[in-house]
C-alpha cells in the first residue's frame, strides 16, 4: 500500500491490467446480486433523483414501476445506493443487445442530463473512500475476468483505464501524483 494525500491506495490498483470488455462481461457490474445497487455519495442523491426524468425514456416498464413505487435511491446518509430489481439489476439498467448499460449515462451522453452516473460506477472495479483514512481498493470479481484479459492483451493498466474517473473523484493534481507513483512502481517511468 501507499498513500497519496490522505488516501491509502492498495498496490493492486497500481499494478493490475484492466480494460472493460462489455462484449464479454455483458455489463455484469450493473447486475451483481446482493440487493443493493450502486453505492452513492451523499451529494449524489439529489443528482440521481433529478436524473430519473432524463433516464426514464430508456428504462423498461418494470424498472419505471419500481422507481415509482420505491424511489430510485435507498439508504441513509453515509450509506446510500441505487435501488435494485430482484436483488440484482440496478434500477437504472437498460439492455442493449444483451448488455446491461446505464440509462443515466446514456441520457447524459445524448445531452439530456448533466449528471454522468454515480462516481462508484465510473470507478468500478475500483472502490474509493474519501477524507482522512480514505482507501482506494481494487475489487477483483470473476465477472471482470474479460476486462483483466483485455487489459493484459492491450497492456493497459487499471489506473490508466480509470484516469477520468479517478480525476473526477480526487482531482487532477491527486491523479498526477498517483499516476507518477504507479509508473515508478511498474518501471514505466
- Strands 39-40 and 2-4, by their bridges, are unpaired
Is the pLDDT score of 132 beyond 80?
no
pTM comes to 0.91
Q: What is the pLDDT of residue 131?
A: 57
**Per-residue pLDDT band at 125 (split at 50, 70, 90):** very high
Stronger pLDDT, 132 or 42, i.e. the higher one: 42
The stretch 103-127 carries a mean pLDDT of: 95
Query: What 3-state DSSP class applies to 113?
Result: coil
Instruction: Kindly state the helix (H) or strand (E) to which residue 90 belongs, with its residue range.
Output: strand 89-90
The stretch 73-88 carries a mean pLDDT of: 94
Nearest-angstrom CA–CA distance, 29 and 127? 12
The stretch 81-103 carries a mean pLDDT of: 95
Q: What is the pLDDT of residue 179?
A: 93
Q: Is 7 exposed, middle or buried (0-12, 13-18, 19+ CB in 10 A)?
A: buried
Amino acid at each position: 500500500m501507499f498513500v497519496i494525500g490522505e488516501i491509502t491506495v492498495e498496490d493492486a490498483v497500481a499494478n493490475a491490467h484492466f480494460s472493460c470488455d462489455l462484449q464479454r462481461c455483458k455489463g455484469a457490474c450493473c447486475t451483481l446480486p446482493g440487493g443493493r445497487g450502486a453505492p452513492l455519495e451523499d451529494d449524489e442523491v439529489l443528482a440521481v433523483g433529478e436524473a430519473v426524468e432524463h433516464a426514464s425514456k430508456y428504462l423498461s416498464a418494470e424498472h419505471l414501476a419500481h422507481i415509482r413505487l420505491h424511489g430510485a435511491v435507498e439508504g441513509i446518509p453515509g450509506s446510500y445506493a441505487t435501488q435494485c430489481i430482484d436483488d440484482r439489476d440496478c434500477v437504472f439498467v437498460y439492455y442493449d443487445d444483451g448488455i446491461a448499460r446505464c440509462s443515466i449515462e446514456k441520457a447524459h451522453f445524448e445531452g439530456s442530463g448533466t449528471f454522468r452516473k454515480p462516481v462508484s460506477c465510473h470507478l468500478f472495479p475500483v472502490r474509493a473512500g474519501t477524507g482522512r483514512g480514505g482507501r482506494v481498493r481494487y475489487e477483483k470479481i470473476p465477472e471482470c475476468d474479460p476486462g483483466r484479459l483485455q487489459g493484459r492483451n492491450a497492456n493497459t493498466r487499471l489506473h490508466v483505464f480509470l484516469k477520468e474517473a479517478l480525476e473526477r473523484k480526487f482531482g487532477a493534481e491527486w491523479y498526477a501524483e498517483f499516476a507518477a507513483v504507479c509508473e515508478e512502481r511498474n518501471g514505466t517511468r
